[in-house]
Structure 1
Amino acid sequence: MSPKTYTLVELAAFVRRVFALNLPEAVWVQAEIAQASISRGHCWLTLVEKGEESDQISAQLEAVCWATSLHKIRADHGTKLVREVLQEGMSVRLRVRADFHQRYGLKLIVEDLDATYTLGKLEQEKQRILVKLQEEGLLDLNARQPLSVTPQRLAVISSETAAGWADFQEQLRDNAYGYRFSLRLFSAAMQGVQTGPEVSRRIRQINRVSETFDAIVIIRGGGGRMDLAAFDDEDLAREIAGSQLPVIVGIGHETDESIADRVANTSLKTPTATAVFLIQRMMQAEVRLLQLGRGIGRAAGLQLLGHTQSLEEMEVRINVQARTALERESVRLDQANTALKRLADQNLRQAKQQLDQYAKLLAVLNPETTLARGFSILSQDGKLITSVGEIRPGPLQARLRDGDVELNK
């Protein structure tokens, strides 16, 4: 006897009765949202479960939250929170009812969600990553990158259409102190599963030209805790921690602190607060510069005063020394003058005595005196004769006391 053969409709009806008998009421299920989309007011989900040691999918089912149920869930939990939870990559706990349609197959009908479960899962994962980063010494790594005292050249990572980016530009442009900032936008997703990879890629891109900038600024406008979940990404945290440039984060939160905040050089609450921080840092640098200028002025004044006093004291000493030297030289000059007069008189007396002696000697040696004693002077042709051998043939001239005579030889 051959086994019974069912029609497809009969088999589908049988499976439907199995589900109706075994799952008559809704149950709570844990899963991860692999895909999420809104169409005609309904929320369509692909739920998966992955292995603990890998990202391989071990189970997958389709689910839908009909518009009426979605409206009620939003009323119970808040529209914003529901939107944040029902996103790709979120771990969720949903109350579902299994429904098998003979044409469309098995589908889970979502009736409610447990938002605290998702938040708890996110917090657990966040704490796990923080502990890991702490053990690897990454939490304070970027904080050790020196932030310029005048951070004016800024590489900004944000969404080009984000209100936070517009607020940031306006705040810096219209600052009351006239400081000028050079901004270059590196556009990236600021919400959703692409945020971490895109921001990480932008950080790597900026670091390749790190000499062009003073800092990296990551900003986005306000958002709830779930909106900022992308900034708890471990890979993004590692990129921020290892950046060659200091990273300033202002991602629009007032109470919660993301992992990006923990690993950044500086963390602010909003894009506007980030702009205010940069303006204040410029102002502090200007104040320090003015204080330094005043300090230099005071130091120069004290130096000038000290040198002025030294010069005055030196002038007094020079005057005293000059007067003393003048007095000493005046005495020496008087003494020299007296000695000179005495020496002159002495030299004059000695010269007079010598002249007297020379006069007497001249008188003794005067030829006239010699001739008067009976001597004569012989000469021949104008040349004095002092020896007999000098006489030549010819007349001689003899000079006597009272005249000259010619002698013939």
Structure 2
Amino acid sequence: METLPLSELAAFIRRVFALNLPEAVWVSAELGQVNTSRGHTWLTLVEKSEQDDSIVAQLDAVVWASGLKRIRKTHSLKLVNGVFQEGMSVRLQVTASFHERFGLKLIVADIDPDYTLGSLEKRRQATLEALQAAGLLDRNAQLPLPVLPQRLAIISADTAAGLADFQRQLADNPYGYIFHTDLYPAAMQGMQTGDEVMARLRQIARRSHEYDAIVLVRGGGGKTDLAAFNEYAICEALADAPLPVLAGIGHEIDDTVADRVVHRSLKTPTAVAVFLIEQLSQLEARTLHLGRAIATTAEQLRSQEVRTQLQYASQLQQTAAASLQASHLRTAALTEEVQRAARLALKTAETKLDHQKDLLDALRPETTLARGYALVSQNGRLITAPGEVQKGEVSVRLRDGRIRLRQV
């Protein structure tokens, strides 16, 4: 068997590729890795098994700086940057290049953004259906938002312009409200977004008693920039968050799945800040209105109570006057009755006294003596029987005088 130098075998393989793949072809794949260097973009294209997500094919590709410039000119800069992110499903126009030293590499000549957007939408719908089946779409929305949401745990990239807008809007609110914020930095774009956001949510959950709400903010972005927020894992974590989540993660007309599972979704970080300020402003307005209503009610009750007391006083005065007049009438009647009773008692006493006087006069010894009777006494003791008389002097009292007799 002939033995070939490696260079000859490599040259043979290069000619085979050149003869069999002379023109560019379209290939679909997922971007496993994306790196940039000196204006060139280096890609690792992978195809995964539908059964277990294992890699069944893998090739390296490159977008030369000149080709990237041409692609960006054909498509929008933001759209191209969004497509070339790890984890994106892509459809690329490529040519095969085999170099004797560097091996096989695919050269990217063009991209199909619609394919990526369509793939993102399919994944978005699949995530929505899975969340709906798990009963997670409305879970976070059912958590009550405190009436004074001032203690905020913020998840955002620490250099994000949207974060600066949010913080500036809170600090410069016209009412002077004070908000207490803690930043939990996380990637807001790319392959690390899901893992970092979920890690921050776990950290916040351990300190949930310190906060009123979670705020998730980032700057504006296209659909491809926000792809991570359509993934099931991050949406499930947001739905299960122990606090209400307020999100302002982009400007797209179409919402991400994360917008559907949070407590409240607003289009921009500034809009989230405005919402929080309005919550406090509305509460202050309700409090002032309630205070005025209480003051008005208190004044009405006071006036009513004064009128009631005056009415009671008038009624009491009238009742007292009537009672006093009735008492005077009863006193006069009682006085007259007492006087009448006294006169009657006096008359009765006088009659009785006259009767007693007459009886006394009738019983007086003088009266008896005047009828011819006499009183016999001896030694100062009345004699009522003959046997009581002793020898000696006996006194006999008559009406007109006394006589003395001697018993012998």
Q: CA deviation at 1:55?
A: 1.5
Q: CA deviation at 1:371?
A: 9.8
Match in the other structure for 2:131 = 133
Give a deviation string over 1:283-302, Cα, whole Å, max 9, x none: 11111222222333343444
Alignment of 1:35-184 (within 5 A): 35-184=33-182
Q: Alpha carbons of 1:82 and 1:362: their partners in 2 closer, same or farther (altered >3 Å)?
A: same
Q: CA deviation at 1:105?
A: 0.8
Q: CA deviation at 1:254?
A: 4.6
Q: CA deviation at 1:211?
A: 2.5
Give a deviation string over 1:14-68, Cα, whole Å, max 9, x none: 1111100000011111111111111111111111100112210000011111111
Give a deviation string over 1:85-144, Cα, whole Å, max 9, x none: 111111111111101111111111111111121111111111121122223322222111
Aligned residues: 397
Q: CA deviation at 1:347?
A: 1.4
Match in the other structure for 1:274 = 272
Q: Alpha carbons of 1:375 and 1:385: their partners in 2 closer, same or farther (altered >3 Å)?
A: closer
> Which ranges in structure 2 are unaligned for 5 or more consecutive residues?
389-394
Q: Alpha carbons of 1:368 and 1:249: their partners in 2 closer, same or farther (altered >3 Å)?
A: farther
Hey, what's the Cα distance between the residues in 2 that align with 1:312 and 1:386?
91
Moved more, 128-137 or 81-90: 128-137
Q: Alpha carbons of 1:253 and 1:371: their partners in 2 closer, same or farther (altered >3 Å)?
A: farther
Q: Alpha carbons of 1:353 and 1:224: their partners in 2 closer, same or farther (altered >3 Å)?
A: same
SS in 2 for 1:227: coil
SS in 2 for 1:36: strand
Match in the other structure for 2:14 = 16
Q: CA deviation at 1:315?
A: 4.3
Q: Alpha carbons of 1:32 and 1:254: their partners in 2 closer, same or farther (altered >3 Å)?
A: closer
Hey, what's the Cα distance between the residues in 2 that align with 1:107 and 1:188?
34
Hey, what's the Cα distance between the residues in 2 that align with 1:85 and 1:212?
39
Moved more, 181-190 or 351-360: 351-360
Hey, what's the Cα distance between the residues in 2 that align with 1:11 and 1:305?
108
Q: CA deviation at 1:173?
A: 2.0
Alignment of 1:238-257 (within 5 A): 238-257=236-255
SS in 2 for 1:52: coil
TM-score by length of 2: 0.86
Q: Percent identity?
A: 51
Q: Alpha carbons of 1:145 and 1:375: their partners in 2 closer, same or farther (altered >3 Å)?
A: same
C-alpha RMSD of matched pairs (Å): 3.2
> Which ranges in structure 1 are unaligned for 5 or more consecutive residues?
392-397
Match in the other structure for 2:286 = 288
